[in-house]
Structure 1
Amino acid sequence: MPTPQVVAVSRDQTHRFSKVPVDSITLVAGLGVLGDAHAGTLVQHRSRVRRNPNQPNLRQVHLLQAEIFDDARAMGYELHAGDLGENILTADLDLLGLPTGTLLDLGGPVVRLTGLRNPCVQINTFRAGLMKVVLSRADGTPSEQPAPSTASAKHSTTHVIRKAGVMAVVDRGGDVVPGQAITVTLPDTRTPLKPV
């Protein structure tokens, strides 16, 4: 079985959908990616800031599985590192199957998974119809309907599978570069990831 690894790293100082691939990123404990618009102890995503600017930032680092690019290609979309707004692109690691609280050692820096990225309509704005790559119904069929927000999801009877990556906070800082092996430490209690 291949060793999980970092494929690419990206950041962006402004609030845009995509991020810019770089040679390395620096993670700062409790803050996120140095020089990234989403770094901070309090929530930085604009929609969440509008709702409550005093929420803790559980979305400091966005990780995405590179295998989603294969799914995208099969549906006619060519994607590259940073296109979906991720900070860290991984390979050979089932990010979506990991439980909340999982620690990922990225060659020194450590992030703790907090939840799933909830795909939003910006994905279809980036590329028309792209939502169907990162969102599907429980039976596996692609869906172009945005996932319900966290508040309304508990009232929804439609189960959707979110494949747009996972969110994390930084437990131990340091530099992350492509090619670094990823070591996984599972928590004692296995709670499935939910949208954050």
Structure 2
Amino acid sequence: MNDRVVVSVNISEQKGTRKHPLQGPVTISMLGMQGDAHAGDWHRQLSLLAQESIDKMQGHGLVLQPGDFAENITTQGLDLLTLPIGTRLKIGTAVMMEVTQIGKECHLGCEIRKLVGDCVMPREGIFTRVITPGTIEAGDIISIISKGGTP
């Protein structure tokens, strides 16, 4: 049984801020998620972070939710850090994406770092570019189509 699923699909209009979950199917275009601050013609169109990573950060007097670390897609059951650059993922029935970056440099204005004192996204988040557009929503299955790295 495949237990790799989308927990939440999240959006924000500004970079460096928490994202809020969207209900129902969300359209993913060749530029990412319409209306999201990270959409565009570049290699970091969509960001993914595991619910397991968010759970590790619980405490600090805050209750953390999907989107709080500014990830577009909150996943569960998928060890994101084992996916090399070039890995192709399929979400739902149509959306295909390719891993382009693992982790990132945390910028100084990060809302989460200010609130919590730490941010897990730079260490455990991954970034992708869209290969095939379509719609995704919470509950969709995530499949690894091919692993990147050396063949």
Q: TM-score, normalized by length of structure 2?
A: 0.85
Q: Relative to structure 1, is the Cα distance of residues 188 and 9 closer, same or farther in structure 2, using a 3 angstrom cutoff?
A: closer
Contact persistence 1:11–1:25 (CA under 8 A)? no
- What's the C-alpha RMSD, in Å, of the aligned pairs? 2.2
The letter for the 2-side match of 1:72 is M
Count of matched residue positions in the alignment of Structure 1 and Structure 2: 146
Aligned identity (percent) is 34
Offset at residue 129 of structure 1 (A): 1.5
2:73 paired residue number? 88
1:118 paired residue number? 104
Structure 1 stretches of at least 4 aligned residues deviating more than 6 Å after TM superposition: none
Contact persistence 2:54–2:66 (CA under 8 A)? no
Secondary structure of 1:96's counterpart equals helix
Structure 2 spans left out of the alignment, 5+ residues:
none
Contact persistence 1:12–1:35 (CA under 8 A)? yes
Where do residues 1-196 of structure 1 align in structure 2 (5 Å cutoff)? 2-23=2-23, 24-29=25-30, 31-41=31-41, 57-73=42-58, 77-107=62-92, 108-120=94-106, 121=108, 122=110, 123-125=112-114, 127-131=115-119, 134=120, 162-163=123-124, 165-187=125-147, 189-190=149-150
Higher strand fraction: Structure 1 or Structure 2? 2
Q: TM-score, normalized by length of structure 1?
A: 0.67
Structure number with greater Rg is: 1
Q: CA–CA distance in 2 between the matches of 1:166 and 1:2?
A: 21
Q: CA–CA distance in 2 between the matches of 1:188 and 1:117?
A: 16
Offset at residue 15 of structure 1 (A): 3.2
